[in-house]
Amino acid sequence: MQQEVSAELDFVAFEAAQVYCFVLELKKRAERMGREVVVVGNKTYGEIAALPVKARLEQQGVQVYSCKVPSSFMGEFRVPETAEMPSELLRRMMADQPVVAVVDGTHSPGQDEHVRYPRAMLGYVNLAASVNEVLGLQTRFGIISDEQLVRLRADTNFNELIASMAQLVPPGTSPLGYEVGFWNPARKRGVLEIFSYTSVHVKEHFAEPLDPQQLSGPAIVLITSTLPADSQLYAGAGLPKKHTPGYFDDRPWRQIEGLEKRLQAAAERYLTS
């Protein structure tokens, strides 16, 4: 078991190294726009996905937050609960309008040619819609339907969230609306499944990986760190063929002795090789 855990930690570190390099690309683009980048590790898998490079990111001036948007809760007409969103993150989203990179992962990442995004990502799409609602904008990112927007406006969490954020808009300013983008280390087309509690059908939103140069303002960029088990990137890094994607999803990984140091050391190998 210990050997298996050690091997899977290497996979997490390798994936985190890919995410780190992409976040630096986002940072360069954001700086040209006069903006900052912040990273959000979505609990619980997104936390371990960002942990190997957390110290490196903070050395680069990139603040790392943790939020909890569970896939089991998230549906088409729901937003994250206000209590689960760090107040400082919400303040910065309204006042500073950074590029927000949300990191998460899944134990079912799809195939190498068809990457799957965690269902929790829909919560962050709806968060972006909430911000734009406060600003009087109706950007739907090609994802949110008319019905979905109407239902969101009737949701208690949605109204609590926009009420909280409305108080954070600096007086006399004209904030921009948020964009939404997707990215994965395979840099392949991906799919976000949109579950509805009013229909047996599952809608699918397909997204090409974001090129940071496409950004023109504040954005929420949704990153799945987990690669499909058959990804050629693993082979190129000399990682074992046998691998369980999202191995630590819903596992008690915080109990692993020396976890942060082990992950950081492994990530350094991939970033400096």
239's tokens: 């990682």
Query: Can you list the positions of beta strands (E) in 125-201?
Result: 179-183, 190-195
| Omega cis (within 30) before 44 | yes
Q: Is a pLDDT exceeding 80 seen at residue 225?
A: yes
Confidence category of residue 75, pLDDT binned at 50, 70, 90: low
List, in sequence order, every residue forming a beta bridge with 111; answer none if it has no partner. 114
- The number of folded domains in the chain is 1
Alpha-carbon distances, residue 115 vs 73, 92, 212, 221, 261 (angstroms): 22, 31, 19, 16, 29
Nearest to 247 by CA among 76, 48, 72: 48
* DSSP H or E segment with residue 268: helix 259-272
Q: For residues 255 and 117, is the Cβ–Cβ distance under 8 A?
A: no
Give per-residue pLDDT as tens, 182-193: 999 999 999 998
Q: What integer pLDDT is reported at residue 42 of this predicted model?
A: 94
Nearest to 205 by CA among 142, 149, 150: 142
Give per-residue pLDDT as tens, 83-122: 778 899 999 999 999 999 999 999 888 876 679 999 889 8
Q: Model pTM?
A: 0.94
Residue 242's domain comprises 2-272
Give per-residue pLDDT as tens, 136-189: 887 778 888 777 788 888 888 889 888 999 999 999 888 899 999 999 999 999
